[in-house]
């Protein structure tokens, strides 16, 4: 295996970069909330809102060549892995200028050139693919790793356990990342899990394990960096679990506290430690001027507004697009 | 003429391709064990090492996604299943991930994944070790499905599948492993998507898959003696399916019988019947006839198994009925009996 270090940290700008990514994702989703009711983005939205620190922190620990495999809740992973915001919105609007010309929508965002290999809407299906990708990287000596994001519900699926077992027995560079929001749609963990602690069980596998209850993007990045260093040193995979809170309904852009399966009080408590608020406060504490921050935020706002405006008027795909890509097409 | 068995032809294809292309590897449950997947992998592990020929945990679904992940990253995985039936556990990865992955990137990513799966039959294989299921796979856009019948095709199809940049499922009938025939030594490909005429004839067309080609050829031989000239068409690739060969044949003969190594209901036979009917409507002298498995699970005991599978005798009778001929005396005929060849257990 090649060089075993992670991205060289450039400490001053790094906190700011993390904030910019968090902010971009949050604003992008706020724009989705704003425009979704116009019924022009016809794609089921599984919003990342509230959970953004996990993909942002973990992706910051990855190198460019490392690959991400995501679930349908992938707005944050896509943008955190470097996916372009203009193609993002164009895809949500189903336009020719989208990531796959509108054929993917919100649930299948991908940009292999950026290392965001897929988003999959069948729970846990990206996990085995990440294991195979890790095998290829190990075999070819690329030094890259495969990072797969999934929810706590995916850990109920056989494919998760099959994949964990395979990655452990074959010693593959897979970084398993569980975004534990405690819910599968509206079904809470205790209805689904016949065990007390997932990480306890996984710690019996030949795998590095870390669990954290945090919304601090820097803490998450550090945890991921630590895990990656251990993975590279040992050749074993790693499993990370971060507790988080999904601000909005499972699918769609509204709140859903009126349904009664969870309380607004919980939400308010999580909101107190919102990942953006935390990171912004950290920047201010470190001496970043309020005005500079606001101007930076405005720049992002404007860019995203332009992306939306351009996506709205972009052409839809032509009918010939339907048949494109069923099989590989030589460039 | 250089004669080899179907099994040796598969083995030769793997040896040659794995020597040619270091990105290939073979894996699957029990792949390196002494059985060497009925002999088809003899010498592979010894020659190419455990890195390129290895066993896996028992998790067909994950190991299918594993193949996909490796395929999109520059390797050419060959996943082997000693029974097609086990692929059912991989339907999630096959249908939700493998078949859609190229589409999800606008055709930019290659998915050069080969899945070899063996069809079992006879000596008590029963209802969970004898299915073929090719129509199930062929139903899914994005998957290629091939069923080589002759040793020559076994080698050429497998090489073509390995070199293809898309997922290909190769379905190999266990009984065909002993079939012998001409197999050229140098590597060659049999193009996916093309069928072949196994026997020329002018009175009636039989479109057959896999083992049923053997039964069809036997039936054709018997019918020849009764003065009936039968053409046997082996489509080889059923997805994507190029119906031209079958259609052109039926244009000439006016009669079509499909002998499929699968159930008839919603099966490949129905697809052939539909396409032939659509394209040869005015020229058909009889409705398209389908033969296939009985609409039951496959029973274990031989006497019922005989009822379950159609054979050459059933084909002869169906042809006679189509052509309005009196049933001929078949009492002296020597039909294929599996037990002469194989006494279990697997
Ligand atoms: C195999 C499968 N079963 C059921 C569903 C329906 N479904 C969609 S999301 C979801 C919940 C998944 O929960 P989790 O993995 O925790 O992810 P989260 O949505 O919380 O991010 C379910 C059951 C599905 N998409 N795939
Ligand atoms: Mg969840």
Of A154, A181, A185, the residue with max ligand 1 atoms within 8 A of its CB, to mutate for a pocket test, comes to A185
State residue B1's pLDDT score: 86
Find out whether A120 and B97 touch, Cβ atoms under 8 Å.
Answer: yes
Domain membership flag for residue B212: yes
What pLDDT digit, counting tens, does each position of A92-144 carry? 999 999 999 999 999 999 999 999 999 999 999 999 999 999 999 999 999 99
A308 and A89 in contact (C-beta within 8 Å)? yes
Domain membership of residue A140 (yes or no) is yes
Query: Do B23 and B145 lie in a common domain?
Result: yes
In a shared domain, residues B245 and B168: no
CA–centroid distance, A182 to ligand 2, in Å, is 5
Q: Is the pLDDT of residue B66 over 50?
A: yes
- Chain A with chain B: Cβ pairs closer than 8 A: 142
Does residue B345 fall inside a structural domain?
no
d(CA B139, CA B315): 26
CA distances from A60 to A64, A177, B113, B249 (A): 10, 14, 32, 62
**A22-38 residues labelled b (16+ CB within 10 A) or e (exposed):** bbbbbbbbebbeebbee
Domain membership flag for residue A6? no
B147 shares a domain with B232: no
- Do residues A266 and A234 lie in contact, with contact meaning Cβ atoms separated by under 8 Å? no
CA of A281 to the centre of ligand 2 (A): 28
Q: How far is CA B53 from CA A103, A116, B14, B28, B308, in A?
A: 37, 29, 11, 9, 37
B193 touches chain A (CB under 8 A): no
For residues A81 and A272, give the distance between their C-alpha atoms in angstroms, rounded to a whole number: 27
Cite the beta strand spans of B59-167 per DSSP E: 76-81, 114-119, 144-146
In a domain, B189, yes or no: no
Among the listed residues B15, B79, B81, B129, the single catalytic one is B129
For the Cβ of A122 lying below 6 angstroms from any atom of ligand 1, the answer is yes
Active site residue B129: yes
**What Rg do the C-alpha atoms of chain B give, in angstroms?**
20
Mean pLDDT of B206-230: 97
- Residue contact B102–A328, C-beta within 8 A: yes
Mean pLDDT of B270-292: 98
Task: Please tell me whether residues B172 and B37 are part of one structural domain.
Answer: yes
Instruction: Compute the average pLDDT of residues A193-204.
Output: 96
Residue B247 has pLDDT above 80, yes or no: yes
At residue B345, the pLDDT reads 65
- Boundary of a domain, candidates B183, B206, B227: B183
Would you say residue A312 lies in a domain?
Answer: no
The reply to whether residue B108 touches residue A117, judged by beta carbons under 8 angstroms, is no
* Residue B336 within a domain: no
CA-based nearest distance A132→chain B, Å: 4
Query: Cα–Cα distance between A22 and A37 in angstroms, integer?
Result: 24
What confidence tier does A331 reach under pLDDT thresholds 50, 70, 90? confident
Query: Are residue B116 and residue B211 in the same domain, yes or no?
Result: no
CATH of the domain at A236: 3.40.50.970
HSE of B279, CA atoms in CB hemisphere, 13 A: 18
Residue listed under structure tokens 């016949």: A194
Residues of A in contact with B92 (CB under 8 A): 122, 125, 159
State the total domains in chain A: 1
| Percent residues over pLDDT 90 in chain A | 95
Q: Which of B175, B148, B173 is nearest to B161 (CA)?
A: B148
CATH of the domain at B14: 3.40.50.970
What does DSSP assign to residue B93?
I
CATH number of the domain that residue B283 is part of: 3.40.50.920
Q: How far apart are CA B11 and CA B14, in angstroms?
A: 5
Ligand 1 contact via A185 beta carbon (within 6 Å): yes
Q: For residue A192, report the distance from its CA to the centre of ligand 2, in Å.
A: 11
* Residues β-bridged to residue B133: none
B168 and B58 fall within a common domain: yes
Question: What's the rounded mean pLDDT across residues B85-91?
Answer: 98
What pLDDT, in 10s, does the model give residues A237-254?
A: 999 999 999 999 999 999
Task: Supply the mean pLDDT for chain A.
Answer: 95
Q: Are residues B138 and B36 in the same domain?
A: yes
Residue B343 maps to a domain: no
Q: Which domain holds residue B20?
A: 2-183
A314 within some domain: no
pLDDT for res A12: 63
- Residue B219 and residue B213 in contact, taking contact as beta carbons nearer than 8 Å: no
Read off the pLDDT of each residue in A259-266 and give the average, rounded to a whole number.
96
Q: What's the pLDDT score for residue B162?
A: 98
Contact B74 A136 (CB under 8 A): yes
Please provide the average confidence, as pLDDT, over all residues in chain B: 96
Choose among A163, A75, A154: nearest CA to A119: A75
What's the pLDDT at B346?
63
Q: What is the pLDDT of residue A9?
A: 41
Residues of A with CB under 8 A from a CB of B: 67, 69, 100-101, 103-104, 108, 110, 112, 117-118, 120, 122, 125-137, 139-140, 146, 158-159, 162-163, 165-166, 169, 324-329, 331
Record: contact B141-A139, CB cut-off 8 A: no
Whether pLDDT at A3 is above 70: no
Chain A touched by B59 (CB under 8 Å) = yes
Distance (Å, whole) CA B127 – CA B132: 11
- Rounded-to-integer distance, Cα B163 and Cα A48, Å: 40
Judgement on whether residues B91 and B208 belong to the same structural domain of the protein? no
In a domain, A297, yes or no: no
CA distance B266 to chain A (A): 23
Do residues B208 and B173 both lie within one domain?
Answer: no
Asked if B197 and B231 touch (Cβ cutoff 8 Å), the reply is: yes
B237-239 and B144-146: which strand pairing?
A: antiparallel
Same domain, B219 and B288: yes
Q: What is the pLDDT of residue B123?
A: 86
Number of structural domains chain B divides into: 2
| Ligand in nearest proximity to the CA of A149 | 1
Of A68, A71, A128, A176, which to mutate for an interface test with B (greatest number of B Cβ within 10 Å)? A128
Which of A66, A71, A129 to substitute to test the interface with B, most B CBs within 10 Å? A129
- B150 pLDDT more than 70: yes
Residues B124 and B237 occupy one common structural domain: no
Place A8 in a pLDDT band, splitting at 50, 70 and 90.
very low
| pTM of the predicted model as reported, rounded to 2 decimal places | 0.96
- Ligand 1: which atom is nearest the Cα of residue A46? 19
Which residue among B59, B65, B105 sits closest to A129, beta carbon to beta carbon?
Answer: B65
Q: Sheet with A238-243: list strands edge to edge.
A: A116-120, A67-71, A146-151, A174-180, A238-243, A208-212
ipTM of predicted complex: 0.96
Asked whether residue B338 carries a pLDDT value surpassing 80, the answer given is no
Residues around the ion ligand 2 (C-beta < 5 A): A 151-153, 181, 183
Query: 3-class secondary structure for A111-168?
Result: EHHHCEEEEECCCCCHHHHHHHHHHHHHHHCCCCCEEEEEEHHHHHCHHHHHHHHHHH
Mutual angle of helices B268-280 and B244-253, in 10-degree steps: 60
Query: Residue B257 falls within a domain, yes or no?
Result: yes
Whether the Cβ atoms of residue B127 and residue B297 lie closer than 8 Å to each other: yes
Same domain, B200 and B178: no
Range of the domain at A115: 49-82+103-291
B256 within domain boundaries? yes
Using a CB-CB distance cutoff of 8 angstroms, which residues of chain A are in contact with residue B69? 69, 128-136, 146
d(CA A243, CA B346): 50
Query: Is the confidence at residue A7, as pLDDT, over 80?
Result: no
| Of B161, B183, B205, the domain-final residue | B183
CA distances from A266 to A152, A271, A277, B221 (A): 18, 8, 17, 79
Q: What would the mean pLDDT of B29-42 be, rounded to a whole number?
A: 92
Q: Contact A92/A108 with Cβ under 8 angstroms?
A: no
| Assigned domain for B44 exists | yes
């Amino acid at each position: 295996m090649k060089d075993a270090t992670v991205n060289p940290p450039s400490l001053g700008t790094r906190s700011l970069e993390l904030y910019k990514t968090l902010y971009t994702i949050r604003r992008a989703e706020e724009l989705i909330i704003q425009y979704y009711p116009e019924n022009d983005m016809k794609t089921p939205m599984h919003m990342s809102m509230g959970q953004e620190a996990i993909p942002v922190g973990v992706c910051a620990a990855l190198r460019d060549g490392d690959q991400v495999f995501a679930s349908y809740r992938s707005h944050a992973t896509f943008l955190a892995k470097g996916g372009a915001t203009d193609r993002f919105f164009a895809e949500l609007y189903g336009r020719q200028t989208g990531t796959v010309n509108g054929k993917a929508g919100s649930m299948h965002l991908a940009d292999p050139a950026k290392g965001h290999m897929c988003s999959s809407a069948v729970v846990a299906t990206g996990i085995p693919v990440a294991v195979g990708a890790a095998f290829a990287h190990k075999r070819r000596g690329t030094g890259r790793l495969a990072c797969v994001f999934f929810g706590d519900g995916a850990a109920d699926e056989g494919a998760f356990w099959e994949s964990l077992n395979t990655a452990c027995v074959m010693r593959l560079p897979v970084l398993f990342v569980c975004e534990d929001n405690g819910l599968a749609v509206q079904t809470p963990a205790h209805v689904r899990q016949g065990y007390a602690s997932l990480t306890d069980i996984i710690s019996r596998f030949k795998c590095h394990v870390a669990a954290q209850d945090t919304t601090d993007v820097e803490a998450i990045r550090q945890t991921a960096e630590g895990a990656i260093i251990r993975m590279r040193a040992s050749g074993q995979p790693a499993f990370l679990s971060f507790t988080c809170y999904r601000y909005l309904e499972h699918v769609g852009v509204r709140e859903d506290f009126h349904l009664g399966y969870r309380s607004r009080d919980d939400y308010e408590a999580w909101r107190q430690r919102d990942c953006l608020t935390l990171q912004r406060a950290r920047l201010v504490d470190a001496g970043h001027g309020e005005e500079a921050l606001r101007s930076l935020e405005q720049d992002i706002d404007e860019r995203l507004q332009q992306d939306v405006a351009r996506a709205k008027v972009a052409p839809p795909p032509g009918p010939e697009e339907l048949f494109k890509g069923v099989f590989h097409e030589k460039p | 003429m250089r004669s080899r068995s179907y099994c040796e032809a598969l083995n030769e294809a793997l040896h040659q391709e794995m020597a040619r292309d270091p990105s290939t590897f073979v894996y699957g449950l029990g792949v390196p064990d002494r059985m060497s997947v009925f002999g088809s992998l003899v010498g592979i592990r010894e020659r190419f090492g455990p890195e390129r020929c290895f066993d896996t945990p028992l998790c067909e679904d994950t190991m299918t996604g594993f193949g996909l992940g490796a395929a999109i990253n520059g390797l050419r995985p060959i996943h082997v299943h000693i029974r097609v039936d086990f692929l059912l556990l991989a339907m999630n990865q096959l249908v939700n991930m493998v078949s859609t992955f190229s589409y999800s990137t606008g055709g930019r990513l290659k998915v050069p994944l080969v899945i070899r799966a063996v069809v079992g039959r006879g000596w008590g294989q029963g209802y969970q070790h004898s299915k073929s299921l090719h129509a199930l796979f062929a139903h899914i856009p994005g998957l290629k499905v091939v069923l080589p019948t002759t040793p020559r095709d076994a080698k050429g199809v497998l090489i073509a599948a390995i070199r293809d940049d898309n997922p290909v499922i190769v379905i190999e009938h266990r009984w065909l492993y002993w079939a012998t025939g001409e197999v050229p030594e140098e590597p060659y490909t049999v193009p996916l998507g093309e069928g072949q005429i196994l026997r020329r004839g002018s009175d009636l067309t039989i479109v057959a898959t896999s083992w049923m080609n053997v039964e069809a050829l036997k039936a054709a031989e018997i019918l020849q003696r009764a003065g009936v000239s039968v053409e046997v068409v082996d489509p080889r690739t059923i997805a994507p399916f190029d119906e031209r060969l079958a259609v052109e044949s039926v244009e000439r003969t006016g009669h079509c019988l499909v002998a499929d190594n699968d159930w008839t209901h919603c099966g490949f036979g129905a697809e052939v019947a539909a396409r032939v009917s659509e394209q040869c409507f005015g020229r058909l002298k009889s409705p398209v006839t389908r033969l296939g498995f009985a609409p039951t699970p496959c029973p274990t005991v031989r006497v019922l198994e005989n009822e379950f599978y159609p054979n050459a005798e059933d084909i002869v009778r169906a042809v006679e009925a189509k052509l309005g001929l009196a049933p001929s005396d078949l009492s002296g005929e020597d039909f294929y009996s599996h037990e002469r060849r194989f006494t279990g257990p697997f």
